[in-house]
Amino acid sequence: MTLNLQDLYREAILDHNRKPRNFRKLEGADRTADGYNPLCGDKVKVYLKIENDRVADVAFEGSGCAISMASASMMSESVKGRTLPDVLALFESFHALLTGETDAGSRSKDLGKLVVFAGVREFPIRVKCATLAWHTLRAAIHNRSESVTPKSGSASQPAPATTASQKPSDLRRRIIEALRTVDDPEIPVNLYDLGLIYDILVEASGLVTIRMTLTAPACPMADALLWQVDKTVRSVPGVTDVMVNLVWDPPWDRSMMSESAKIQTGLS
């Protein structure tokens, strides 16, 4: 059985990498998101067209290793036509399959063909390659208003932690402390106080999704910086997985800096 699964896995990766399905820019997409895997250099952009709470169409573009591209291709095939709650449930199952939270058997029938990715579990460094498209898909689903995000200055910062569970908010605080140890390469202030971290989503499973930007789109240090953010947040106890989504909307400007950061740089 295991050997068989490994064979199917190799076959699926080769096939989908050679002929990726739905690899194109989707005209008229109403939701998009960009994902980046600093561990491997994989990049993917996911396009969605949502109608009546259902994925009417999905496409992707990107570059990266065979696993990342094959996974994006299979993701696009798997979610087309599904309802959004169904897609998010599938994300959970897929993520659990790869990170080993539950045994593969109990979830395999929901996952269909995707179960071949259980083979990736034996190569932990590649898990991120396989989950990138799914994390990006989920970001796109939640990015309903990304292109129309109002620039609301300081009002965009509060993001209160849910009171329902104390654990995530405590973890969130530790993540913020960790992010405060990472300085921007161009402005000598940490990323958090610089206002580059737009959003920190902490889930009960320990999965952390960070939406962030950089001071300039052409930042030559971008890859190294994202890698550092990933590594820093991953090292916080309680964090099981990290996804960093780099966004350019809203564009960063100096008004987003914290008061102390403005004083520190003499910009107050």
Residues that bind Zn ion (CB under 5 A): 40, 42, 65, 68, 129
Q: Identify which of residues 127 and 202 has a Cβ nearer to Zn ion in the complex.
A: 127
Minimum CB separation from Zn ion for residue 61, in Å?
Answer: 16
Total residue count of the chain as it appears in this document: 268
User: What is the SS3 assignment for 189?
Assistant: coil
In sequence order, the 6+-apart residues with CB closer than 8 A to the CB of 217 are 248
Q: Which of 173, 245, 238, 165 is nearest to 210 (CA)?
A: 245
Q: Identify which of residues 40 and 221 has a Cβ nearer to Zn ion in the complex.
A: 40
Q: DSSP secondary-structure letter at 190?
A: B
Beta bridge partners of 151: none
Minimum CB separation from Zn ion for residue 25, in Å?
Answer: 22
Q: Where would I find the beta strands (DSSP E) of the chain? A: 31-37, 42-51, 54-63, 197-202, 207-212, 241-246
Q: Identify which of residues 76 and 190 has a Cβ nearer to Zn ion in the complex.
A: 76
State the number of CA atoms in the 13 A half-sphere of 244 facing the CB: 27
Buried b (16+ CB within 10 A) or exposed e, 72-100: bbbbbebbbeeebeebeebbbbbbbbbbe
Minimum CB separation from Zn ion for residue 217, in Å?
Answer: 23
Q: Which of 103, 101, 238 is nearest to 177 (CA)?
A: 238
Q: Identify which of residues 70 and 140 has a Cβ nearer to Zn ion in the complex.
A: 70
Minimum CB separation from Zn ion for residue 15, in Å?
Answer: 17
Q: Give the CA radius of gyration of the chain.
A: 19
> What gap in Å lies between CA 184 and CA 32, rounded to an integer?
27
Q: Identify which of residues 38 and 206 has a Cβ nearer to Zn ion in the complex.
A: 38
Q: Identify which of residues 69 and 197 has a Cβ nearer to Zn ion in the complex.
A: 69
> What gap in Å lies between CA 246 and CA 225, rounded to an integer?
11
Q: Identify which of residues 22 and 71 has a Cβ nearer to Zn ion in the complex.
A: 71
Minimum CB separation from Zn ion for residue 187, in Å?
Answer: 31
